[in-house]
Every structure is written in structure tokens, then in C-alpha cells.
Amino acid sequence: MSNQQKLRCAVYTRKSTEEGLEQEFNSLDAQREACVAFIASQVGLGWKLVPGFYDDGGISGGTMERPALKRLLQDIRDKRIDVVVVYKIDRLTRSLMDFSKIVETFDAHGVSFVSVTQQFNTTTSMGRLTLNVLLSFAQFEREVTAERIRDKIAASRKKGMWMGGTIPLGYRAVDKKLMVDEAAATIVRSIFQRYLELKSVLAMADELNQSQTADGSMPLRSPVSRGRLYHLLSNPVYIGQARHKDTCYEGAHQPIVDAELFASVQALLKEQGPKRRSRSNAADLHLLTGLIFDETGDRLSPAYASNHGKRYRYYISNRLKVARRKDDTGWRVPADELEAIVDQQVIALLNDKSRLAEWIEQYASKDKIANGLSVTDGFLSDSPGSEAQRRSIVKAVVVRCTLLPETIELAINPAALASAILEPQGDGQSDATSSQQPVIGVETHKITVACEIQRRGNEARLIIGDQPKRDKARDPSLVNLLARSHSMLSALTNGSARSISELSKATGIHRADLSKALPLAFLSPAIVDDILAGNQPVSLTARRLARLADLPVDWNQQQSILGF
């Protein structure tokens, strides 16, 4: 008896819901008690209970993301457990696929599995078959229950019932029904009406964030993002409808917004929304997607803007998408300018025959140098095909592009470049982009480009070498803004309008916009002359000037703030 092997037994318990877990003796306790009793009955076979508790309360058996189960499997890998004991097999999992993974772990570490109410031996083929059959029924039961829940929700939505979740702004939940909160409903109506005036979700978000800063009573959480506004403005709950998937039903709650106003907002959203492109022409035009970072380490991602039917491409800091352009350190860089700089550096690299020969010899073989260098001449021509080849090379060899205040740093993978050059000779790759695989132990080649990055609001302009730092072309938007401010001031001083409110009604311009534009009529004459001549700083845009708060009266201070 003294030589008998000791089997360390762990008890695993689980309950799908949290209901009843607060009781002194709950379902987990009952499962554990039965399992401990079973282990005690096997003490003659050397079974011994380990002290740890593996209890998952309120977690579905359809997922492997269970803290106690993860600890159990880790302890099995650490050779601390010999037998796993459960009350019923569905306590371990209700998924046949998950069960097969768990059993693989058990087998790999020599662990046996026992169900107290359904005794099986998982080391035999018949035991495995029986377990799989039982698990198939457990999974079937789970799927049928999910279908019943989905059908119940669909039937309730057809009747217009609210099924819980986030309470829409403008309503409050009373006895599982949506009731109008008049104070918040007034704000919702004003948001719909103001959007029709501004015709811009971004401008609407900025205005709401500014009003929240001044007035903490606004019920919207700050910052108000573009996505939240899109959801609010397109939510049919505000016209008394209940939406389920793509279908709307007559709701059991009262509407907040009239149908005509809601329809006008939807038409404007559709008009200003991005045009969905078919798969045939929806290829990503951004060459450096996922490769650009700023000095803080924040990644720049692709973005688009449209103006007068023309589409512009940008790379924009991720933090600007969250902070709604309130972070002055973020970047919004024209994609064409940045990609042209990278293309120029790739051309310079392809022209450096001695460096290319060194890399081809190092990462391929010496006898391929001559053929490799001849191939690069084709990449340097002006034909459309060579430009496409260079784009493929950029995707294959550029590891990282970092924007700094005075430089742009490129990290190039020499091994990938050598491979991309040799690919047309049939060295095993189908295209240049396929060589963009991490090469262990290969150092990257650094390229530093002297570049002045000047901001235009959040937008940045890249100035390379000795290019001029000022635009000589007049900015029509700036000129129109100044003309409008002087026209407004003239209307107030000559008696055409006796107040800003009266001027707002006459012109149809919101009072807030009038209040921002009027101080611009008192700009320094020197600043006005420079703007009319097109000699304003690159960083000065109509958007920045219109949003400038607390413009100083002193002309010298104005010039200092605006960069003259």
C-alpha cells in the first residue's frame, strides 16, 4: 500500500448565471460537495484532493475565457494535477470543439477526467464516443436556447417594445419602458436642428464639446465623437420606431423628433456620407498604411476628405479621431506629399549601385549582382509600370516611417529590398509585397530626410530643402472670411441691424458664428495686407482664424499669435 501512486484530484465547478451565487450554500458549493465526496470514496485508489478551488460563477460554458478554467489548465501543464473531477460533463464545457481541445491538453499531460454523475474513462475509445455524444446534445441545447432568446427579442421588437441596453438620450427607463425625459429631449431636438444649420457632423461635435466645457449640465459624455453623433442623428427611436436589425417597427414609446425634421437630417447625412465603392475599385490607395508614426509613437492611419467633388487623401494621427481635433500635437499629413518623399528616397536608393551590390551579395549571392543591378534600371524609368513596381517595393521594404518636427526618418529592410530586386528572375516569390516578412537578425537601414513640417491647423504641409515657406497665392477662404467680418461690422454700425440677434435673423448665420467672425474686422492692417497679397504663414487657414478665441486688440500681439 505504501508504494501505491497518489493521484492529485482537482474539482472544477461552474454556473452559467450569477443568480443565487450570493446564497450561503449555492450551486457551486453543491457541485463541489458531491465531487469531494466522490474523491473520498476513491481514497483507497490513492486519490487525494488538491487544496485549490476552481470555481467559475456566472460564466457560460460556451466560452473558454473562464478564469478558473484557465488556472486549471495551467496547473495541468505545470504537472500539479492528475485527475479532474466535475459534477456533470457540461460543467466543463458545452462546446464539442472546446471539449476536444481540453481533452487534448489532458492527454498530453496524462490527466484523467471524471464526471461524478456520468462515470467515464476518457482513455478508451468507447468512453470518448459516449462523451462526444453527450457533449453534442449539450451544445444542441445551448444553440436551441440561443435561438429561443433571439426569437423572443425579434417578436418583442415587432411589437415596439424596448429590450434594454443603453438608454437613448432624451428618454428614461420606467418599468422596462422608454418614457420621454423632456429636458434631455429638448437637447436632442436642438442637435437635430443645429445639424441642419451647420451641415457638418464634425462642426457639430466641436460645438457640443465646447458647450460642455462651458456648461457641465450637458447630458452627453465628453468628448462627443463623430460616431456617437452619427448614431444619434440616424436613430429611428427618436421618431417613435423600434429597430431590429435592418427593419423598423412602430414603437411603444413617444417620439421626440417630428418625422419631417428626421427625414431632412437623414437626407443630409446620406448626401454628405462617403460614397461606397465596389470591390473592383475599392483598393487601398494609401501606400504607407500601418507604417507611419509620429514623434510620440502614435500611428497615423488613412483618411479622406472631399471638397467640391474632389477627394483628398491624408494620414491622420489616431488620437485626433478620439479627441476630435483638440490635440494640437496630432498630425494630418497630405498623403500625396508624404508618399512622393518616400518614392524619391526609394529612387535614390535604387540609384546607389554600390550599396545595392553590397546588399545583394550579403542577402543573396555575389553572382546575382550584375543581373540585380540591371533590373533596377527598369524600376527607375518614367513608365506607369515602373511606378507600380516601385510602389510594390515600398510596401515590401519600408519597415517604418517616423514624422519628427524637422525630419522624416525611414527604416528600410535591406534583405527585403534585395529579394524584391531579384524576384523578376524567378527566385521563388510571386510579387514584391510577398517579401515583406520579418527577417530575424537583420538590421534596418536608416534614411533621414531634412524636412520642415508646417501646420495648417491640424493639417501639416511638408517643405523639403529650400522650398519657399510662404504661399504666394491668395487664399480665397481667408479673403472671404475677412470680407464677411467687415460686412457684418458695417451692418451693425450703419444701423442695418441693431443687434447680433437681428443680424443673425437677416443673414441666416447663427449667432455663435457671427460672434466669432466680428472680431476679425479689427485685425491689424498689416495682417490684412499680407492676407490679400497671399503672404500669410502656411499655418494660417480660414478654419484656424475663424476658431481663434480671444483675439487680442494689440496689433503686435495679433502678429505674434498668427505667425506674421
Query: For 99-137, what is each residue's pLDDT tens digit?
Result: 777 877 888 888 888 888 876 656 556 766 776 776 677
Q: In sequence order, which residues have a C-beta less than 8 Å from that of residue 517 and are 6 or more positions away?
A: 481, 484, 485, 488, 546
| Grid coordinates given for 522 | 479689427
Query: Tell me, which fold does domain 7-142 have in CATH?
Result: Rossmann fold (3.40.50)
Residue 228's pLDDT band, with cuts at 50, 70 and 90, is confident
| Res 437: pLDDT | 42
In this predicted structure, the answer to whether residue 10 has a pLDDT above a threshold of 90 is yes
Q: Are 131 and 122 in contact (CB under 8 A)?
A: yes
Strands 310-317 and 300-307, by their bridges, are antiparallel
Distance CA 542, CA 558 (A): 15
| Res 441: pLDDT | 41
| Res 413: pLDDT | 87
Q: Are 230 and 269 in contact (CB under 8 A)?
A: yes
In this predicted structure, the answer to whether residue 429 has a pLDDT above a threshold of 50 is no
| Res 11: pLDDT | 93
Mean model confidence pLDDT for the chain? 77
| Res 218: pLDDT | 58
| Res 259: pLDDT | 87
If one compares 94 and 473, the residue with the highest pLDDT of the two is 94
Query: Tell me, which fold does domain 171-272 have in CATH?
Result: Hect, E3 ligase catalytic domain fold (3.90.1750)
Residue 2: strand, helix, or coil: coil
Q: Helix, strand, coil: what percent of the chain each, to 5?
A: 50, 15, 35
In this predicted structure, the answer to whether residue 55 has a pLDDT above a threshold of 80 is yes
Q: How far is CA 389 from the centre of its chain?
A: 31
The CATH 3.40.50.1390 portion of the chain extends over 7-142
Residue 13's pLDDT band, with cuts at 50, 70 and 90, is very high
Residue 327's pLDDT band, with cuts at 50, 70 and 90, is low
Other CB atoms closer than 10 Å to residue 171's CB: what's the count? 21
- DSSP conformational letter for 123: T
Q: Are 178 and 240 in contact (CB under 8 A)?
A: no
Among the residue ranges 56-60, 135-139, 218-222, 289-293, the one predicted with the least confidence is 218-222
